[in-house]
Amino acid sequence: MRHPAAERPVASPLIAHVVYRFDTGGLENGVVNLIDRLTGWRHVVIALTEAVPAFCSRVQRGDVEFVSLHQPPGQGWHSYPAFLHELRRLRPQVVHTRNLAALEMQVPAWWAGMPVRIHGEHGRDQTDPDGTRRKYQWMRRAYRPFVQHYVALSRDLGQYLTGPVGVPAARVSQIYNGVDVDRFAAAGVRQPVPGCPFEGEGLCLAGTVGRMQTVKAQPLLAQAFVQALRQQPALRRSLRLVLVGEGPLRAECEAVLQAGGVRELAWLPGERSDVPAVMRGLDFFVLPSLAEGISNTILEAMASGLPVVATDVGGNADLVADGLTGQIVPAGDVPALAQALQRWATDPARRQAAGLAGRARVEQRFSLQAMVAAYGGLYRSLSARAGRPVPLG
């Protein structure tokens, strides 16, 4: 006769997703998408500072736990005891840290004997936009022995890990972000955005979406907008700028637009939760960042059928096919950005063709299904190598 305990279902293995803060952002959106779609596993999110409840509610699964460790700024080692306590309580099979701010949690994960330890590089730190700071290279080298495997979200980040950081290529996988092509469906024609003051067939709306922080460089886009209208005054009748997001650079953008005499031609609504609707209300998308990993907003814009103008940083050129789905411009180059605004604002046929090509590119190469399958395959292979349960799928 079988023991009653044998009748109990075996719990699915657990993945601990470790981030610095679980709040609005591209990295965090990617974690949400992965948790909601990766079946066969259980998930917990451990935020070294805070898992913000409003953002946690985006996770649709009801079996996910969120842990906030309330780490003091710049004192990650203070979180080691609390992190170890959570690891021993939860016993995850996979510990997956993301970006430099969470990398040091690989040490307690190693100490606790976690079977699979993965670290993801999603993008550059805003104080190291080109990856040349020796301090950050040495920090990554110092923690390298504690990481079993790395995930780089772009070719650029993969080359950074195998180059200056010195990680063997066999320990690095490159997995692109994915986008929900159904949620960000292309409308075909621009749709009105609730609250937006700019409507009408004769207008062309260029816009961006993202946190207004230094690395995203929205003031450079505001400067380019001012310059574009000065160079082609006729565009004042049609070209409009949409800057969606909240953060310390919002006031600077306002000041640039006011000083340039074009404040009434721009809309800065702050943070919005209806990003798909915002995307469908634009004619083309612009990302003026000084650094990126693989930009979720670029993928969302392409899925929405928008041409994309983006700076030549990180993985942007992996996503945007220059001349086919949009345009790549040098980072920090306001005149080049102004010329791109003029080019795309005055050529609706080019916009339509590039938007269609971008949508097709996303469907073929950057779907959520492809991303989830890649992560699932990695978790399974590393678990099998560690002699741990491997969910089917």
* Burial (0-12, 13-18, 19+ Cβ within 10 Å), 77: exposed
| Angstrom distance (rounded) from CA 326 to CA 79 | 44
Q: How far is CA 365 from the centre of its chain?
A: 16
* CATH topology assigned to domain 11-178+368-385: Rossmann fold (3.40.50)
Residue type, 236: R
CATH 3.40.190.10 fits 204-365, yes or no: no
Low-confidence ranges of the chain (pLDDT < 50): 1-8
N- to C-terminal Cα separation, the chain: 32
For residues 41 and 391, the answer to whether their CB atoms sit within 8 Å is: yes
- What does the pLDDT read at residue 282? 97
Q: Which residues pair with 206 in a beta bridge?
A: 241, 284
CA quadruple 151, 153, 158, 164: dihedral sign: negative
Give ranges for CATH 3.40.50.2000 in the chain: 11-178+368-385, 204-365
210 vs 204, 245, 273, 280, CA distance in Å? Answer: 20, 5, 11, 16
| Angstrom distance (rounded) from CA 7 to CA 339 | 68
| Angstrom distance (rounded) from CA 221 to CA 341 | 9
Number of H helices, E strands in the chain: 15, 13
Angular region, 334: left φ>0, alpha ψ -120 to 50, beta rest: alpha
| Angstrom distance (rounded) from CA 149 to CA 183 | 32
Q: What are the tokens at 137?
A: 């290279």
- What is the number of other CB atoms lying within 10 angstroms of the CB of residue 109? 28
- What is the number of other CB atoms lying within 10 angstroms of the CB of residue 210? 25
- What is the number of other CB atoms lying within 10 angstroms of the CB of residue 51? 20
- What does the pLDDT read at residue 8? 43
- Element (H or E) spanning 96, and its range? strand 94-98
Contacts of 266 (CB under 8 A, 6+ apart): 222, 225, 240, 241, 242, 243, 257
- State the DSSP string of 237-298: GTEEEEEE--STTHHHHHHHHHHTT-GGGEEEEE--S-HHHHHHT-SEEEE--S--SS-HHH
- What does the pLDDT read at residue 392? 72
- Element (H or E) spanning 365, and its range? helix 348-365
- What does the pLDDT read at residue 293? 81
Q: Which residues pair with 68 in a beta bridge?
A: 47
Contacts of 315 (CB under 8 A, 6+ apart): 153, 154, 155, 156, 157, 176, 292, 293, 294, 295
